[in-house]
Amino acid sequence: MAEKESLAKIAFIGGSGLYEIDGLENVVEKDIDTPFGKPSDKIIVGSVNGISCAFLPRHGRGHVYLPSEVNQRANMYALKSIGVEQIVAFTACGSLKEKIKPKDFVIPDQIFDRTKNRPNTFFGGGIVAHVGMASPFCNEIRDIIHQSVYELGIEHHFGGTYVCIDGPQFSTKAESEVNRQHGFSVVGMTAVPEAKLAREAEMCYANISLVTDFDVWKEGEEVTNDAVIATMNLNISNSRRVIKDLVAKLSKREHKCSCHDALKSAIMTAPEKILLNKNYKNVALFLDKYFNK
């Protein structure tokens, strides 16, 4: 049976510019191997005001992975393996609406996937699962994030759709206009397949989108690296304030959502086929509680 260390129940994933947590004490770096390869970086485990939490820089320290190069399966597996139950993921993004301005935070409630050929499931090879994704983010965590950013006085938008593209290039004007016509709120490159894999791993997951620009649709405010980096630095300062506040709030949360048993009715393959499958060892971390008690 796959065993799981209980090092931290709360984890934060840092996006562009967010590579560490301020005030983290008793730090231990975990170098983890997974059946799906190595995570983006060592997982940093420590405590904030006495509360254990973990941190993983999505692009690696020094920002060395393109969005499509991030090994999302290894990242999610590694976090699950140390006992993580709740994830707050930060992503830099572009705004697709006039009212959503650079430096604003967005707490999306939906995702639209425009990526191609990114491995987006732990399953396959004779083990079939179909988890529900109607609500791709944990609404309980979204509510807690909403409370936190409101109390901290950060300009924010509660709800909206995050459309995920492959990148690494920014959108064309035509692509940006089509995304706007669909009513999407922000465009980014990393929330997929992260949210899908978190659901398969039965971890509560929510996203905070940090707006850096107006994508390329707004005349005179076209996205450039210089503009993105300048705004990003302001966003990161606010992100660190939010993290410190969220650690305390999430540690007191009572789980009433269905994220923690997302696989309960999702497995389609017959139990006898699953336990005899040579690939079972790769997903035992998720399935042992159902099939190998």
pLDDT in tens, 5-20: 578 999 999 876 666 6
Active site residue 213: yes
pLDDT at site 221? 67
Tokens in use for 251?
Answer: 């540690």
Rounded CA separation 74/88 (Å):
17
Q: Catalytic: 245? A: no
- Candidate list 113, 213, 245, 288, residue with the active-site label: 213
Q: What is the mean pLDDT of residues 24-32?
A: 93
**Catalytic residue, candidates 41, 104, 109, 215:** 215
Q: What is the DSSP letter of 253?
A: -
**Distance from the Cα of residue 263 to its chain's centroid:** 19
Nearest to 56 by CA among 9, 15, 108: 15
pTM: 0.94
Identify whether the C-beta of residue 171 lies closer than 8 Å to the C-beta of residue 179: yes
Query: Tokens 């939906």, residue?
Result: 110
Q: Which residue has the higher pLDDT, 216 or 3?
A: 216
- Give the model confidence (pLDDT) of 207-251 as tens digits: 999 999 999 998 876 666 676 777 877 888 899 899 999 999 999
Average pLDDT (269-282) is 94
Strands (E), 114-203: 156-158, 161-164, 186-188
What is residue 230's predicted lDDT score, i.e. its pLDDT?
A: 74
* Burial of residue 249 (number of CB atoms within 10 Å: 0-12, 13-18, 19+): middle
Rg (CA), the chain: 19
